[in-house]
Structure 1
Amino acid sequence: MFRIDLVSGKTRGASLIQNGNNNRGRERDQFMTMPGILQTRLGSLTLPNPFILASGPPSASGEMIRRAFQTGWGGAVIKTIHPDGMEIRDLSPRFAAWKGPKGDLLGFENVELLSKRTVSYWESEIRSLKQDFPENLLIASIMGDTDPATWQDLAVRVENAGCDAIELNVSCPHGMPEAGVGAAIGQNADMVRNLTRTVSEVVGIPVYVKLTPNITDICTSARAAVEGGADGISAINSVQCILGIDLETLTPVPSINGSSTAGGYSGPAIRPIGLKMVSEIARTVSLPIMGIGGIGRWQDAAEYILLGASAVQVCTAVMWNGYGIIRAMNRGMAEYLTQKGYNSPDDIRGAALSRIEPHQAISRTIRMQPVPPEPGVCSRCGRCVTACRDGGYDALIMKPDGLTVDESRCDGCGLCLLVCSTGTITSRIHST
């Protein structure tokens, strides 16, 4: 596997964790101030916990970031800052959701653009936030236009204002690519490399590159970022999509006066995509990674960290449920680490990577055998029989006394366990 190691020569500031209890009267979750257990290393930086607000609507103003920090978030990435001359006019409405039967979010589309605030506004807010929350990580997401000098100007200004790191938005999937930036840059390795170098040369704080999943091989972009001098990777941005069509009006959603456009897909449905891409990046380059995509619970974050992420970013789950989700995330992560005997999220970083192997390297001698439930336990709904007959190997039979398995037909695919409505079909493993 191609691998790149990078030792940065940039000057780094002191740890973001400050000594003493400088609460300034803020509300704090018990696990946020619990020494050690949630403290997380992100390259040369340290933050109170691994949970960071992603660049987006929840980080659209200094006031919002302030409330997030008060609630317990370890860091925040500012909604993408751009040159004042770049016109940003959002569509209305600009969101669409795919919801489950009980109204729970499955997938989310947005066509929202960048920050509507001026650069000077953000310079002032960065100074204020870092004064009041010195221990929290504050990252400035930036996007210039097609002139690299605009990126350099933004980078220098946010660094001088006091932000801890910079995130290059070269991955926005809608609107901005039409102007030659966003994913239009992120899909071109040469442009990623050159832009990263252009910005890294003028600042002394860490530079992260936010990569697009809308590409054949995300590792090509990751390598280019390393070659350009990046200090870390953020992955992934949202996935290009059309969420659906209104069958009455024949208009894609969200409908804006009878028209629509492709947007960015986020939410729980994209987590498997994010996990796969983060694992590939982690096995390709030796840079800290901020994992992004479908994170709304501490378990989701743990999965990303186990696959190589140092910290995670969250956006859609906050839009759906509010900043308060951080309390359960902090608590759950702390309890999990304690129960497992770990001292920090750093201790589990990449622990699952070695278990991902090429398809042809996985053993074919192991077989799973379904075990029917005890008589009287099965609901006899027949769902497993139908699934096995029409999508498997026709190995299940529903008899008067319960479910049976024709072992001569069963191929061990496991479909029956997944569709069982009561979860009472179990399994055993044997070698062939």
Structure 2
Amino acid sequence: MLNEFKQLKEEYPDRVLIASIMEEYNKDAWQELIERVEATGVDALEINFSCPHGMPERKMGAAVGQDCMLLEEVCGWINEKATVPVWAKMTPNITDISQPARVALKSGCEGVSAINTIMSVMGIDLNTLRPEPCVEGYSTPGGYSARAVHPIALGKVMQIAKMMKTEFGNTDCSLSGIGGVETGGDAAEFILLGANTVQVCTGVMMHGYGLVNKLCAELKDFMRKHNFSSIEDFRGVSLQYFTTHTDLVKRQQQAIRQRKAVRKGLQSDKEWTGDGFVKESESMVSN
């Protein structure tokens, strides 16, 4: 992989190359890995604090992403050594994803990425009674991705973006949205929720690299439709429309009262007409 990083930078020196890396819970190992990866010429590092595959069993991956004290410690090791910008990749397998995101940013990371895959069991073979997929009849919970996780990813990104806006304001902290991106509309949704960038993985694996050109074209179509000239014109615009369940109930009740107040119903049976019966009936409905 180190050779591939180096080759990419040599072939595309004007492009940004971000290395997504992970290591076990070991300071020396982390710092050695960072040194070796940076030597290839990468422009930034994404630290995978969220992989659900094997790494949690070794006190890393999602194990760190779910433990804010461990996360703060490891972020300290990394930012002590790194000379390029660092993003922390967040796990969705947690109740409040804004907590580890906050810790990562306060510990020196320039930004956070969200989300990684969601822990799941794909299913059980009702004939063999074995889990699927399996290796020699055995399995382990794994990470679920692609279109199915998109709504969950949007919710997690929204939580992080609101926290970042409230607590970090106009700093240089950034947010990268991940999860089920296959169209320009999918990408636009993440940006509307505050993401600076959007990542695609499973979509490219399923549809090929040509998907990126299609995605970019669709995103530009969306921007032209709304007369946006840059990403910053609409980044985070939709955050203002999120509120609490209690507030939603109040808004609904207020709207009903307002509609009733302006409703022009018939004042007496004498006002009914044959030709206007349908419209006159609709005018009597309160909602």
1:258 aligns with 2:137: yes
Displacement of 1:431: 7.3
Deviations 1:191-240 (A, max 9, x none): 11111121112122110000101111111101110121110001000000
For normalisation by structure 1, the TM-score amounts to 0.56
Contact 2:24/2:55 (CA < 8 Å) preserved in 1? Answer: no
Deviations 1:217-274 (A, max 9, x none): 1111011101211100010000000011111111111021111110001111111111
Structure 2: which amino acid aligns with 1:295? Answer: V
Among candidates 82, 92, 111, match of residue 213 of structure 1: 92
Deviations 1:334-362 (A, max 9, x none): 12212221112222110100001111112
More displaced 10-residue stretch of structure 1: 194-203 or 305-314: 194-203
Residue identity over aligned pairs, in percent, reads 42
Query: Moved runs in structure 1, 4+ residues, more than 6 A?
Result: none
Q: Name 1:346's counterpart in structure 2.
A: 232
Contact 2:72/2:103 (CA < 8 Å) preserved in 1? Answer: yes
Q: Name 1:124's counterpart in structure 2.
A: 3
Which one scores higher on RCO, CA 8 angstroms, separation ≥ 6?
Answer: 1
Q: Name 2:202's counterpart in structure 1.
A: 316
Structure 2: which amino acid aligns with 1:304? Answer: F
Displacement of 1:174: 2.3
Among candidates 240, 247, 257, match of residue 361 of structure 1: 247
Q: Name 1:325's counterpart in structure 2.
A: 211
1:230 aligns with 2:116: no
Distance in 2 of aligned mates of 1:136 and 1:358: 42
Query: In 2 relative to 1, CA 339–135 (structure 1 residues): closer, same or farther, beyond 3 Å?
Result: farther
Deviations 1:1-48 (A, max 9, x none): xxxxxxxxxxxxxxxxxxxxxxxxxxxxxxxxxxxxxxxxxxxxxxxx
Distance in 2 of aligned mates of 1:306 and 1:171: 24
CA RMSD, 1 decimal: 1.7
Unaligned runs of 5+ in 2: 257-280
Contact 1:127/1:161 (CA < 8 Å) preserved in 2? Answer: yes
Deviations 1:64-116 (A, max 9, x none): xxxxxxxxxxxxxxxxxxxxxxxxxxxxxxxxxxxxxxxxxxxxxxxxxxxxx
Q: Name 2:59's counterpart in structure 1.
A: 180
Contact 2:184/2:222 (CA < 8 Å) preserved in 1? Answer: no
Distance in 1 of aligned mates of 2:27 and 2:235: 35
1:335 aligns with 2:214: no
Distance in 2 of aligned mates of 1:333 and 1:301: 7
Distance in 2 of aligned mates of 1:124 and 1:261: 32
Q: Name 1:245's counterpart in structure 2.
A: 124
Distance in 1 of aligned mates of 2:203 and 2:2: 27
More displaced 10-residue stretch of structure 1: 204-213 or 149-158: 149-158
Displacement of 1:175: 1.3
Distance in 1 of aligned mates of 2:195 and 2:80: 25
Structure 2: which amino acid aligns with 1:325? Answer: L
Higher gyration radius (CA): 2
For normalisation by structure 2, the TM-score amounts to 0.83
Displacement of 1:297: 0.9
Distance in 2 of aligned mates of 1:247 and 1:345: 48
Distance in 1 of aligned mates of 2:183 and 2:134: 31
1:146 aligns with 2:30: no
Distance in 2 of aligned mates of 1:134 and 1:348: 30
Q: Name 2:14's counterpart in structure 1.
A: 135
Deviations 1:360-417 (A, max 9, x none): 11212246xxxxxxxxxxxxxxxxxxxxxxxxxxxxxxxxxxxxxxx9xxxxxxxxxx
SS in structure 2 opposite 1:284? Answer: helix
Distance in 2 of aligned mates of 1:254 and 1:304: 31
What aligned pairs does 1:99-110 form with structure 2 within 5 A after superposition?
Answer: none
Displacement of 1:125: 2.3
Contact 2:185/2:222 (CA < 8 Å) preserved in 1? Answer: no
Q: Name 1:195's counterpart in structure 2.
A: 74
Q: Name 2:264's counterpart in structure 1.
A: none
Distance in 1 of aligned mates of 2:26 and 2:225: 51
Aligned residues: 250
Higher strand share goes to which structure?
A: 1
